[in-house]
């Protein structure tokens, strides 16, 4: 049975002095090793602090890197009510029936926070999404977990895609979501561009983005007047860093 951290600590303290010294030496070595896996606490505001630099360890796919958070813009969505849905567009049977948050009618830009890693095998640069957002993130004074049914909402992506759209456009988008050939093309395009528009009859109704198969927590952003102005998804990548590069 797996032990809790407290149980591991108690077991270590129960060792003889010589054994504790060996254990302490192993721990010091692991902390000094530059390429140990990262594991930092990430706040939502960290995900949109463009220009911030982070150190990432090397692994089988990527070299050890110092990366800079950058904004990769996506399409702007024109909404009639601002009822924003967040979904996996290539899993149409799980499409939501209601919006995750109401931001009010308006024009909402979408974007990805991205980093560039170096491939270990070829040395080529590879852009990776760190977070996805819709709305005016620069106007956010407070981030709060986006609540649904009494708990924080998570995008459950099975296809490695996510999407933002207005829930009132769901009926128009559903045939797109159900067209596997079309969605394969969207996925292939997202592999290259990371975030792409979904259009119906010449109108951009959704922003589809690469996000990885996982549960991605969502945050609602409120301005200084307490008005909801943005939504942010943490795609779980920044937490793998070892820390800020200048710390």
Cβ contact 116:67 at 8 Å = yes
Region 159-170: what's the mean pLDDT?
96
Rounded to whole angstroms, the Cα distance separating 115 from 68 reads 6
Report the first-to-last Cα separation within the chain, whole angstroms: 37
Under the banding of pLDDT at 50, 70 and 90, the label for residue 190 is very high
Task: Say if residue 1's pLDDT is above 50.
Answer: no
Radius of gyration of the chain (CA): 21
**Bridging pattern class, strands 214-222 and 142-145:** antiparallel
Banded pLDDT at 36 (limits 50, 70, 90) = very low
User: Residue 78: pLDDT above 70?
Assistant: yes
Angle at 116 between CA 238 and CA 198, to 5 degrees: 85
Please work out, in degrees rounded to the nearest 5, the angle formed at the alpha carbon of residue 232 by the alpha carbons of 126 and 124: 5
State mean pLDDT over 55-61: 91
What whole-number distance in Å separates Cα of residue 37 and Cα of residue 54? 13
Is residue 144 a contact partner of residue 219, using CB atoms and an 8 Å limit? yes
Task: Please answer whether residues 221 and 135 qualify as being in contact, where contact means their C-beta atoms are separated by less than 8 angstroms.
Answer: yes
pLDDT at position 24: 75
Number of H helices, E strands in the chain: 5, 17
Instruction: Tell whether the model's pLDDT for residue 201 goes beyond 50.
Output: yes
What's the confidence (pLDDT) of residue 226? 95
Q: What is the pLDDT of residue 35?
A: 46
What's the mean pLDDT when you consider all of the chain?
90
Across 126-140, average pLDDT: 97
Average pLDDT in the 30-34 region? 49
Region 161-179 average pLDDT: 96
Length of the chain: 247
Could you tell me the CA-to-CA distances from 64 to 7, 53, 214, 241 in Å, in that order?
A: 33, 13, 24, 10
Say what the pTM is.
0.82
């Amino acid at each position: 049975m797996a032990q809790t951290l407290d149980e591991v600590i108690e077991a270590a303290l129960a060792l003889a002095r010589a054994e504790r010294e060996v254990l302490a030496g192993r721990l010091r070595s692991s902390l000094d090793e530059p390429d140990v896996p990262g594991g930092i606490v990430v706040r939502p505001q960290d995900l949109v602090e463009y220009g911030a630099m982070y150190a990432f360890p090397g692994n089988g796919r990527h070299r050890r890197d110092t990366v800079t958070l950058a904004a990769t813009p996506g399409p702007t969505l024109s909404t009639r009510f601002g009822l924003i849905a967040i979904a996996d567009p290539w899993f149409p049977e799980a499409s939501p029936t209601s919006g995750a948050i109401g931001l009010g009618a308006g024009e909402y830009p979408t974007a990805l926070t991205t980093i560039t890693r170096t491939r270990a095998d070829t040395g080529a640069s590879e852009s990776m999404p760190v977070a996805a957002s819709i709305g005016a993130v620069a106007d956010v004074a407070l981030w709060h977990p986006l609540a649904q049914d009494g708990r924080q909402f998570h995008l459950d992506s099975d296809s490695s895609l996510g999407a933002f759209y207005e829930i009132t456009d769901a009926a128009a988008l559903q045939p797109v979501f159900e067209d596997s050939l079309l969605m394969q093309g969207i996925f292939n395009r997202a592999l290259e561009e990371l975030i792409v528009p979904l259009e119906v009859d010449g109108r951009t109704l959704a922003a589809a983005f690469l996000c990885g198969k996982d549960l991605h927590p969502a945050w609602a952003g409120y301005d200084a007047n307490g008005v909801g102005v943005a939504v942010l998804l943490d795609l779980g990548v920044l937490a793998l860093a070892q820390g800020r590069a200048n710390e």
